[in-house]
Amino acid sequence: MFASILLFGLFFLMLAQGIAISVAIAVSSILTGLFFLPPSVAFFVATQKMFAGVDSFTLLAIPFFILAGNIMNKGGIAIRLVNLAKLIGGRLPGSLAHTNVIANMLFGSISGSAIAAAAAVGGTMAPLQKKEGYDPTFSAAVNIASAPSGILIPPSGPLILFSLVSGGTSISALFIGGYVPGLLMGLSVMIVAGVIAKRRKFPVSEIPGFGEAAKIVWQALPPLLMVVVVIGGIVIGAFTATEGAAVAVLYSFVLSLIYRLATWREYVDVLKSSMVTSAVILFLIAASGVMSYVMTITGIPDAIADALLTFKNPIVILLIMNICLLIIGFFMDLTPAVLIFTPIFLPIAREVGMDPVQFGLMMIFNLGIGSMTPPVGSVLFVGCSIAGVSIEKVAKPLLPFFITLVIALLMITYIPALTLGLPRLLGLM
């Protein structure tokens, strides 16, 4: 109890002071460790654990996927996918809202970033929806609620991160298992958007002719083919996740050269932004290695597990875990939350019979919902900024989507077939 209060008390105190989350993780862990280890040992172990945390070949997949996504983001990929999404959802009530959701699912899976999807797709869709008479707060809510779906549809950096933190959960199984939850998240948003659009009588877009439709599909195929190549190669064992990420970089670079999607100066900017993003994530991973060690030697995960397992009923235990993760998602970004809380909750999930693949997808789904909620929701801030509306005005339109996504989360939690069916069908488990 003392270790828990000290560790998390120091951590949240430093966050409240505006200290970077990675620094807060490292410093709070080291200071807590000093109460249980001699200073010389504590600092030596902290350094060792930080280096060990990033000493992984699989971890190279994250900066590669970040680079591939940034190359894709720089060119005209978003508008190609928006056109395809408009073709798919064009006949539904509030067709532009459905276009936004489908485009976020497509673009998010390619870029691997909910924030990038919210910015790129939202920036493209907001003017179109405003022109058609859509309420800007409704448009922003749809964009914000659907953007996290892309982090579940592979290739997904958070799923790779979970695989590493969880001790080697199959990346192939996580990737294939992520399709149904990702689609379920998108469909949940589309159901709510469709009901609201029908009630408000939002317009339906015109469907292009066969020739124009064929052109739209043809233009969208090259970026979509990257996902097929990368995920297909990983699943059949042609290459590892890291090699697949490198293939994604090569593919996206060649594609951008063919279509002349970026200038050489933009490539330099892409490299710089990818380096900065990768450095932030890698330092977070390094710092979390120290926190994981401190939690282990102080028995924090065991204490939390013993407290939760006193409820006996697995349904209640999983519900409490989800409530805890939802609250955590309100105040913490997805990456540090995965790093810190996977070692705590995964053993409990295993104890009640939940497969690590299902738990990982449940956790990412849960924290994805957190990214669209105040006060720390990164997707919420980006979506509101792109739409030019305030967070206060978006909160009410966002509530129906939040409730529907929580229902979908409970389905993911209590129906294993939704996450494990495809991996088992393909012999990955």
Number of domain units in the chain: 1
Q: What is the dihedral of CA 81, 83, 84, 88, to 10 degrees?
A: 130
> 155: cis peptide before it, omega within 30°?
yes
Among the listed residues 159, 209, 153, the one whose alpha carbon sits nearest the alpha carbon of residue 182: 153
Task: Round to whole Å and give the CA distance between 79 and 220.
Answer: 9
Among the listed residues 387, 399, 331, the one whose alpha carbon sits nearest the alpha carbon of residue 118: 387
Q: Which residues contact 331 (CB under 8 A, 6 or more apart)?
A: 15, 375, 376
Backbone torsions φ then ψ of 219, nearest 5 degrees: -70, -30
Task: Round to whole Å and give the CA distance between 57 and 171.
Answer: 13
pLDDT confidence of residue 205: 67
pLDDT confidence of residue 76: 64
pLDDT confidence of residue 258: 76
Cα–Cα–Cα angle for 286, 290, 294, rounded to 5 degrees: 160
Domain containing residue 284: 2-425
User: Taking the CB of residue 107, how many other CB atoms lie within 10 A of it?
Assistant: 29
Q: Which residues contact 35 (CB under 8 A, 6 or more apart)?
A: 2, 3, 6
pLDDT confidence of residue 400: 92
CA atoms within 13 A on the CB side of 148: 33
Task: Round to whole Å and give the CA distance between 17 and 10.
Answer: 11
The model carries a pTM of: 0.83
Q: What single string gives the DSSP state of each residue in 390-422?
A: -HHHHHHHHHHHHHHHHHHHHHHHH-THHHHHH
pLDDT confidence of residue 261: 63
Q: What single string gives the DSSP state of each residue in 254-285?
A: HHHHHHT-S-HHHHHHHHHHHHHHHHHHHHHH
pLDDT confidence of residue 37: 79
- Regions of the chain where pLDDT drops below 70: 73-76, 78, 89-90, 203, 205-206, 260-262, 375-376
The conformational region for residue 19 under phi > 0 = left, psi -120 to 50 = alpha, else beta, is beta
pLDDT confidence of residue 411: 95
Among the listed residues 394, 397, 374, the one whose alpha carbon sits nearest the alpha carbon of residue 386: 394
User: Taking the CB of residue 39, how many other CB atoms lie within 10 A of it?
Assistant: 10
pLDDT confidence of residue 96: 82
Q: What percent of the chain has pLDDT over 90?
A: 16
Place of tokens 């948003």: 189
